[in-house]
Chain A
Amino acid sequence: MSVSTTITVPVPPGLVIAPQLPDLLLPVKVRRGVTGFLRNHPTVAIGGGLLLCLVLIGIFAPYLWTLDPTALAPAKRTRAPSADFWFGTDALGRDVYSRVLYGARVSLTVGLSVAALASLAGLAIGLVSGFVRWADGILMRFMDGLMSIPPILFAVALMALTRGSVGNVIMAITIAEIPRVSRLVRGVVLSLREQPYVDAAVTCGTRTPMIILRHILPNTLAPMLVQATYLCASAMIVESILSFIGAGTPPTIPSWGNIMAEGRALWQVKPFIVFFPAAFLSVTVLAVNLLGDGLRDALDPRMAKSL
């Protein structure tokens, strides 16, 4: 490295003058508050914003110029998209626009419910497994076994046992996802247990339930939140797949998978029946995944670099 500072004063021999450091570190603008967080993590803002729009669409579906999504109109079968029927009509004359908007309710309900239920169940099993030695071996062998059943087939097998309803779909997907979530929580719990502050709490005589509540649980929340968004995305895809192959939401309730399943026979001539629910589903899943990626980067900066 060359020293570029011009020296005017004669320097005594043996003295080394430190080179002037260039201004490499630019001032960091600290952003605070919710808006600051969103500006620092634009993927969270984009994903969250899109998801919020879709939730609003689902809630306010009856007021968004929709018709009765189940009303049959045999005279108006398979109309192409027009001013009257924005997304066209399906093989039974039902308005695809209305069905797609109402379909958002099923997808979002299933996605959010599965994310919440599977996280809670996984958290419970993972905590028990991480703290109760004798239960760990049994639980984890059992979870290993269940994990070797591909999730979609697992859900399909469970759905075969019951009638198709939104509640049963939620239960089936939740059960299929629990093994993976509890494995994740167990891993996090096991690494947290080794932390010095847990040792300190043990030394202080804190009881195990209190340690779990005060020291372990809060630290599992960040990875769980990220995992829950991925669970939500995957649950929405599995729901649409189940409905698509006829093992999910009953045909009386419009869901994106159902609409596509009904449009399947006609898709080569009337692709719009399949196209619109497919587009909504993709955008919704993308929104949730963006939210998840953004949260992961925000909550775990070490992961952000690698993935």
Chain B
Amino acid sequence: MVSYILRRVLSTVPVMAIVALFVFSLLYIAPGDPAAIIAGDQASPDDIERIRQGLGLDRPFLVQFGSWLWRILHGDLGTSIFTNLPVSSLIAQRIEPTLSLMLLTLVLTIVVAVPLGVLAAWKAGSWVDRTIMAFAVFAFSLPVFVVAYVLAFVFALQFEWLPVQGYTPLAEGFWPWLHNLILPAIALGSVYIALIARITRASMLEVLQQDYIRTARAKGLDQRSILFVHALKNAAVPIITVIGIGVALLIGGAVVTESVFAIPGLGRLTIDAILRRDYPVIQGIVLMFSFLYVLVNLIVDLTYTLVDPRIRY
């Protein structure tokens, strides 16, 4: 078990190395000469050359990559071209709203999608199943900002139940925080809910055909414990896998959702960085989100053993 965890953790190293190589190449081939930008308008070609040598920009690609990687591993993500602030502190300032939104969406998705999928599988072929699956197809086709605008229009503008936009830090209390995030979380979660509900249903349908389910029925267990104890536990591995993979949807969608609901998170930072071509910031964000994604899927892999004791490494 310990050796499995070690091997699995080590296997993320080459993956992250490729991500790092991609992200570094991004900055390397980005248009614009950093030395010229730093030197300013009045610098002579000699000055620019001196700065370039000072920054190590005249060295070979792999050498530059190595020293860049060394800095990244020490927590230095570079400096924003536009604001002159360290990228790591820019990200740190904006990370709370984004993580809040993603965590709330994740919880909401699991709480809504898994029971829906179980219900659809239990009532397979009935109108309940068809309604849930039709909803899943529709929700899967609705782009995140479409859902966001419709929800904001109905629940914030028409009924005025919830705020149209903004964010309240968790430090100011749980309810104000939730109050602001509930609409964005539903909007961001709709695609994800559809995806997880479909996978849950498919996985449950397969398990429900197994002999031990028939045995459980035959010995008179009640429907709820068959579904949630016997079946769902055995159907859990594919569901958890897709929950992990689907985090990529959350990351992409969060950028848009934050923009619609004016949440001051990493999405806003990303959009500003794109508009200003602030490459170190874009680089830092891509690196950070990819790391988060790899981490989530690492955790997912490690939870298999908890969910399904038959899996031994």
Contact = CB atoms under 8 A, between A and B. Distances in A.
Contact of B202 (A145, A161, A279, A306): A306
Interface string B1-27: 000000000000011111101110010
Interface string A201-234: 0000000000000000000000000000000010
A286 interface: yes
A160 B14 contact: no
Interface centre among B17, B144, B201, B290 (most CB of A within 10 A): B290
A153 B289 contact: yes
Nearest to B251: A150
B252 A153 contact: yes
Contacts of A278: 143, 145-146, 149-150
Given A245-B270, A268-B157, A289-B137, A149 B145 contact: no
A54 interface: no
Interface stretch (A20-28, A79-87, A236-244): A236-244
Contacts of B286: 149, 153-154, 156-157
A286 B297 CA distance: 29
Interface string B276-292: 01010011011001100
B228 interface: no
A289 B140 contact: yes
A37 interface: no
Contacts of B229: none
Interface majority SS (helix, strand, loop, mixed), chain B: helix
B246 to A, nearest CB: 11
A17 B16 CA distance: 72
A271 B158 CA distance: 12
B256 A245 contact: yes
Interface string A270-299: 010011001101100110011001000000
Interface string B226-255: 000000000000000000000011011101
B13 to A, nearest CB: 11
Contacts of A275: 149
Contact of A286 (B31, B141, B252, B283): B141
B293 A150 contact: yes
A271 B251 contact: no
Contact of A153 (B140, B251, B297): B251
Contacts of B275: 246
Nearest to B30: A161
Contacts of B38: none
Contact of B19 (A148, A233, A247): A148
B202 A150 contact: no
Nearest to B259: A245
Given A141-B18, A160-B282, A285 B205 contact: no
B274 interface: yes
A31 B187 CA distance: 42
B8 to A, nearest CB: 13
Given A145-B19, A161-B26, A245-B274, A282 B143 contact: yes
Interface centre among A141, A233, A306 (most CB of B within 10 A): A306
A260 interface: yes
B299 interface: no
Given A156-B274, A245-B256, A145 B137 contact: no
B143 A285 contact: yes
A169 interface: no
B271 interface: yes
A144 interface: yes
A161 B146 contact: no
A7 to B, nearest CB: 35
Nearest to B295: A148
Interface string A111-155: 000000000000000000000000000000110111011111110
Given A150-B289, A151-B252, A241-B255, 18 more contacts: A145-B16, A148-B16, A148-B297, A149-B286, A149-B289, A150-B293, A153-B255, A156-B255, A157-B26, A237-B143, A244-B145, A264-B260, A268-B164, A271-B149, A274-B149, A279-B146, A290-B137, A306-B202
The 3 A-B residue pairs with the shortest CB-CB distance in the complex, in nearest-first order: A145-B18, A152-B252, A286-B141
Interface of A: 141-142, 144-146, 148-154, 156-157, 159-161, 233, 237-238, 240-241, 244-247, 260, 264, 267-268, 271, 274-275, 278-279, 281-282, 285-286, 289-290, 293, 305-307
